[in-house]
Amino acid sequence: MYNNIFDSHAHYTDKAFNDDRENMLGSLKESGICGVINCGADLESSKEALKLAETYDYLYFACGIHPEEVENLPENYIEILKDLAKHEKCVAIGEIGLDYYWRQDTKEKQKEVFEKQILLAKELDLPIIVHDREAHGDTLEILKKHKPKGVLHCFSGSVETAKEVLKLGMYIGFGGALTFKNARKAVEVAEILPLEKLLLETDCPYMAPVPMRGKRNDSSLIPYVAEKIAEIKNTDAQRILDIATENTKLLFNI
């Protein structure tokens, strides 16, 4: 039985938890979970994440516009995010970034919304939680330009990209995808990643680790990811969990 588990990236506002959200969030502490950061994907889910953080002491939240949600934003969306981010349990602007896998047609708008939110994070002295899918070049270029604090979540880039991210002082988040059979690139990144730059996450309800792949994910499955990293780093999983929790608290000022 593991303890001191911090899930640095979850989506408990997702409709996949509509039937049992209260039971789930009421019982996670019994599975050794000490903290969870719920990430917004649009204004609505950011507001819902705030409400959950007010209900459960171990829940924190990030507010932000996900790259798949950049269309039809109200003109004052940055002002709305700024208000949400002033809440004492808001620990980051996220999740934000670029996704050229699902959306090739909104690239320019994605970049604009990403940059505006980075500037907001810097103004508020908050870290950012970055989503980068098939957009490593542009993501890196924007991060190099603004040099924010933060994490590249569910990291899917190469060792070369990881080294650039580390040079910027940013963290790398790993979740269930690291345990998948085809995760060769992510395993290579985990091999060179200094443990003081590691965060653990679920991205639940998605990305459940092996042996639960394809099922609904939740924070209690993080030990499978920790065990995989422990195997790569030749250490024990509780130590990985402890280090990642310490890193999460440091980055997000918790």
Residues that bind Ni ion (CB under 5 A): 95, 203
Phi/psi of residue 159, nearest 5 degrees: -60, -40
Kindly state the smallest distance separating residue 57's Cβ from Ni ion, in Å. Answer: 23
Kindly state the smallest distance separating residue 148's Cβ from Ni ion, in Å. Answer: 18
Kindly state the smallest distance separating residue 251's Cβ from Ni ion, in Å. Answer: 16
Query: Which residue, 38 or 238, is less far from Ni ion as judged by CB?
Result: 38
Kindly state the smallest distance separating residue 201's Cβ from Ni ion, in Å. Answer: 8
Query: Which residue, 21 or 239, is less far from Ni ion as judged by CB?
Result: 21
Query: Which residue, 219 or 238, is less far from Ni ion as judged by CB?
Result: 219
Q: Where are the beta strands (DSSP E) in 111-170?
A: 128-133, 150-152
C-alpha–C-alpha distance, residues 229 and 67, integer Å: 29
Kindly state the smallest distance separating residue 211's Cβ from Ni ion, in Å. Answer: 22
Kindly state the smallest distance separating residue 239's Cβ from Ni ion, in Å. Answer: 26
Query: Which residue, 95 or 218, is less far from Ni ion as judged by CB?
Result: 95
What does the DSSP 8-state code read for residue 204? B
In a 10 Å sphere around its CB, with 0-12 CB exposed, 13-18 middle and 19+ buried, how is residue 68 labelled? middle
Nearest residue to Ni ion, by Cβ distance, number only: 203
Q: Are 65 and 73 in contact (CB under 8 A)?
A: yes
In a 10 Å sphere around its CB, with 0-12 CB exposed, 13-18 middle and 19+ buried, how is residue 164 labelled? middle
Query: Which residue, 48 or 203, is less far from Ni ion as judged by CB?
Result: 203
Nearest-CA neighbor of 64 among 21, 147, 121?
A: 121
Kindly state the smallest distance separating residue 66's Cβ from Ni ion, in Å. Answer: 7
Which pair of structure tokens corresponds to residue 121?
A: 């994070």
Query: Which residue, 203 or 227, is less far from Ni ion as judged by CB?
Result: 203
C-alpha–C-alpha distance, residues 37 and 11, integer Å: 8
Query: Which residue, 91 or 237, is less far from Ni ion as judged by CB?
Result: 91
HSE-CB for 232 with a 13 A CA cutoff: 23
Phi/psi of residue 135, nearest 5 degrees: -140, 35
